[in-house]
Structure 1
């Protein structure tokens, strides 16, 4: 039965009653107590309602890490509407595709991203209203002040959608994962259990809120626990350590490539980081040497693994970081995880066969942390969701102690600087280049970014490969982190008899 009790936005109202003067959010512009956050969230809901937002409507958020992000997200939830985070690193055509796909009624964007927002909206078939945040004029603050608080919290079902978060697409437009209020609750419970988060914590969020990591693993669970969330708009390694020292941060998270930079910056700043209980990393495996390096400085490292469709799935505690190096940990508390033999996955779930300990298979999961499904993607839903089980597409093995180790990906993908990159999407863009006959993109190791793309290119007769020109071509059409950093001219791509490219045969 619908009830305001199921509405996640109620958490802010409850915290405002329980601890009104406790610091809730600090960003680069302001500091808000829970009373002030509730007031601004209610006004954000009033602003959205005045602009015509109704239950089920989508509101796109093209914003950096600032309090307005969470005010609008909880404000939309207060109305029964859906917040739609948008990756600020995407190119205008990519954002236009997302707008066409989800058809949001509104687009709220950073002052610094005005040109990006307007270019994307101009290329889109839909015409959402636009509202700017930040800058000297700051229209968002003006509208917030001019609208009274929307006191009512919408009655929702646990399955009512709250967030529409697009995944990295393998081909075509990325799929939008519909995340309900129920998932947000249980994900927050999982994170709170693993992190041991309380109202005494001060959590630094420097990874983007437009990703599940920043939003669903760090920020929202911390607010659920009544902690203080410190939002930092840009990643600056030395700035992170200075913030830790100055503001008494108790934990923060980042992808492995960030910790590479943070390691050197810690020594150069000489910051006092004794307030930290632990550090958290997710997105890819972190080298044992780096774990040792932080432990030598008195810093414990926790690790995790997840995806947009589930948020955090497995956690590795600091006490097991060395003993189980390479593992992503054990399954979270509120989820059921299995490793299934790939040969049986085409069968109904009752015929799936579980792998033996240390045998490779695909991770499947069910429980309250899974998404509702992909937005208007019936074929993808039929493939991914099977009688309550969600196929992750990640290959792994589980040992006798229940620790999971990733062994590969069922989908062609690599991770660059914490961002998922699907080579097929990159290849599709370059196949439109008039000088390119064929192209194959693979991920290769990179000391700074973890992995970057390398393109093997078959040029049209009479055309010469110009790496810089090809990079510029890519940057105009896709996010810069997807653009290959290296291009190699080849006479032909190795293929099977059926014409499928054999990427494993491409020269290293």
Structure 2
């Protein structure tokens, strides 16, 4: 049974959940269970502590997030007390924290802990009128492809509506056990796990982060999860861990963060009996589209999200048709323009005639569906001709013995920048660079074949499971010299 509750505010949602299902588990983490009533009580105590701390409503509070209940309590309490919370990685370095704090206008960071809601006087509830109003905005941090942080200002009402729409489209239910495997401060986990748990009332199971694949495979089984959100890299790692998930109560598996390989979707379905569904989203928009059909097919746009295409010359494609590609631009009902705290020039550059520039290329088979093809910003120029790294990656991944692949040009200004690009490939024993080159040359034009193939056992990953491109290039410098790396 679907039990999506729509509410304008996070505190309103929590109050509704605590009243309707007080003893149902709200959050589980490392063997600890917090009920909906218990979560509401912790938030009240944390609110009282915030009031005693003297911060005024409207102030921005930086929260160093971890995958634990204390982070959720801190977020709910700050929002209820009128603070505009900015979620950021609790493992970030001091320099990284300082950079984000400067952009968001923060005076400091708060590390959530049990002390936030320790036993003590709760204090008087804020009155219905004249007291602190729930914060209308929050900040989520994204690094994007350039690696520099950006703090996206989001409206709570829009984020909650988007989460409710996604939960309805994906088929979340009140009795679900939702396993969150990626960091809660990232938009993917935030919009596909944290907020949907609140709007549906299901149990949010927080996986420790980072988690080893074998530990994650066991958690997938032992948590009795019915819904899981993760990234392609972790789904593949679970299958390869030696403890693949056995058929169970699992019924919804959501994948995002990078393109979902068709072979992975097939292998996952064969191992679990559950389809692996592709989700397309961004920090700026939350959930944009979701596949309800076969892997590799069109994704259905969420309610309120409208897409259109723009050609390379800047003209709008009025009626593009299913076979015409262009840069995807989006609008979201009620969201207002995308805003980056501390970067007004980026806010301006991100819009074209009021439409948000995603930086992705794609097609629009119908007004309700989108096919995402790749990134415009990652296009590589080779002798004046454009190469799509995603096309090359797909060709490399079809070679027997290849597990992972990342294709990119050396960073601008480096010694190898120009008509060169490399493929970083995780391979099984016996795969050679010359063999890879022959396979790819049979599938692609000669100018699309990478200048160099760097063979590895595995590709380094960020906290969200994306390929750590900067580390790859740094390692290329140490191992292969300056020929094709900065």
TM (norm. structure 1) is: 0.71
1:80-106 deviations in Å (ceiling 9; x for gaps): 212211134544322221122223244
1:314-373 deviations in Å (ceiling 9; x for gaps): 1112x422xxx2x4612112311222324235xxxxx76453322111111112374651
Report what 2:140 is aligned to.
Answer: 165
Is the Cα–Cα contact under 8 Å of residues 65 and 231 in structure 1 kept in the other structure?
yes
Q: Aligned match of 2:249 in 254, 275, 286?
A: 275
Is the Cα–Cα contact under 8 Å of residues 373 and 385 in structure 1 kept in the other structure?
no
Cα distance in 2, alignment partners of residues 90 and 185 from structure 1: 27
Cα distance in 1, alignment partners of residues 378 and 95 from structure 2: 23
Report what 2:270 is aligned to.
Answer: 296
Do residues 382 (structure 1) and 370 (structure 2) align? no
Do residues 62 (structure 1) and 43 (structure 2) align? no
CA 439–143 in structure 1, closer or farther in 2 if over 3 Å, else same: farther
Q: Aligned match of 1:239 in 208, 215, 235?
A: 215
Do residues 336 (structure 1) and 306 (structure 2) align? yes
Cα distance in 1, alignment partners of residues 70 and 159 from structure 2: 19
Do residues 320 (structure 1) and 308 (structure 2) align? no
Do residues 355 (structure 1) and 283 (structure 2) align? no
Q: Aligned match of 1:75 in 74, 77, 93?
A: 77
3-state SS, counterpart of residue 195 of structure 2? helix
Cα distance in 2, alignment partners of residues 232 and 250 from structure 1: 14
Query: How far off is 1:447 after superposition?
Result: 3.5
Report what 2:470 is aligned to.
Answer: 482
Cα distance in 2, alignment partners of residues 68 and 6 from structure 1: 23
Is the Cα–Cα contact under 8 Å of residues 180 and 372 in structure 1 kept in the other structure?
no
Cα distance in 2, alignment partners of residues 172 and 445 from structure 1: 19
CA 480–364 in structure 1, closer or farther in 2 if over 3 Å, else same: closer
Do residues 447 (structure 1) and 426 (structure 2) align? yes
Do residues 253 (structure 1) and 229 (structure 2) align? yes
Cα distance in 2, alignment partners of residues 197 and 15 from structure 1: 16
Cα distance in 2, alignment partners of residues 333 and 100 from structure 1: 35
1:89-131 deviations in Å (ceiling 9; x for gaps): 544322221122223244123xxxxxxxxxxxxxxxxxxxxxx
Query: How far off is 1:400 after superposition?
Result: 4.9
Is the Cα–Cα contact under 8 Å of residues 43 and 117 in structure 2 kept in the other structure?
no
Q: Once superposed, what is the RMSD of the aligned Cα atoms? A: 3.4
Query: How far off is 1:490 after superposition?
Result: 4.1
Matches within 5 A, 1:172-187: 173-187=148-162
1:127-154 deviations in Å (ceiling 9; x for gaps): xxxxx63xxxxxx426633352563376
Matches within 5 A, 1:1-12: 6-12=8-14
Q: How many residues align?
A: 407
Report what 1:148 is aligned to.
Answer: 122
Report what 2:447 is aligned to.
Answer: none
Cα distance in 1, alignment partners of residues 187 and 314 from structure 2: 30
CA 343–353 in structure 1, closer or farther in 2 if over 3 Å, else same: farther
Q: Aligned match of 2:238 in 247, 251, 262?
A: 262
Cα distance in 1, alignment partners of residues 110 and 31 from structure 2: 18
Greater shift, 70-79 or 389-398, is seen at 389-398
Is the Cα–Cα contact under 8 Å of residues 415 and 482 in structure 2 kept in the other structure?
no
Greater shift, 14-23 or 239-248, is seen at 239-248
CA 284–270 in structure 1, closer or farther in 2 if over 3 Å, else same: closer
3-state SS, counterpart of residue 304 of structure 1? strand
Q: Aligned match of 2:330 in 337, 340, 365?
A: 365
CA 396–306 in structure 1, closer or farther in 2 if over 3 Å, else same: same
1:287-314 deviations in Å (ceiling 9; x for gaps): 2222111222212211111110001111
Query: How far off is 1:217 after superposition?
Result: 1.6
1:31-58 deviations in Å (ceiling 9; x for gaps): 1111010111122222222223322222
Do residues 218 (structure 1) and 183 (structure 2) align? no
Query: How far off is 1:284 after superposition?
Result: 1.7
TM (norm. structure 2) is: 0.74
CA 155–91 in structure 1, closer or farther in 2 if over 3 Å, else same: closer
3-state SS, counterpart of residue 145 of structure 1? coil
Greater shift, 76-85 or 331-340, is seen at 331-340
Is the Cα–Cα contact under 8 Å of residues 304 and 328 in structure 1 kept in the other structure?
no
1:448-499 deviations in Å (ceiling 9; x for gaps): 9xxxxxxxxxxxxxxxxxxxxxxxxxxxxxx9763233224447xxxxxxxx
CA 36–244 in structure 1, closer or farther in 2 if over 3 Å, else same: same
Cα distance in 1, alignment partners of residues 144 and 124 from structure 2: 37
Cα distance in 2, alignment partners of residues 360 and 44 from structure 1: 50
Cα distance in 2, alignment partners of residues 155 and 338 from structure 1: 40
Is the Cα–Cα contact under 8 Å of residues 23 and 228 in structure 1 kept in the other structure?
yes
3-state SS, counterpart of residue 119 of structure 2? helix
The gaps in structure 2 that reach 5 residues or longer are 1-6, 380-388, 394-405, 428-466
CA 214–85 in structure 1, closer or farther in 2 if over 3 Å, else same: same
Report what 2:464 is aligned to.
Answer: none
Cα distance in 2, alignment partners of residues 238 and 369 from structure 1: 42
Is the Cα–Cα contact under 8 Å of residues 49 and 116 in structure 2 kept in the other structure?
no
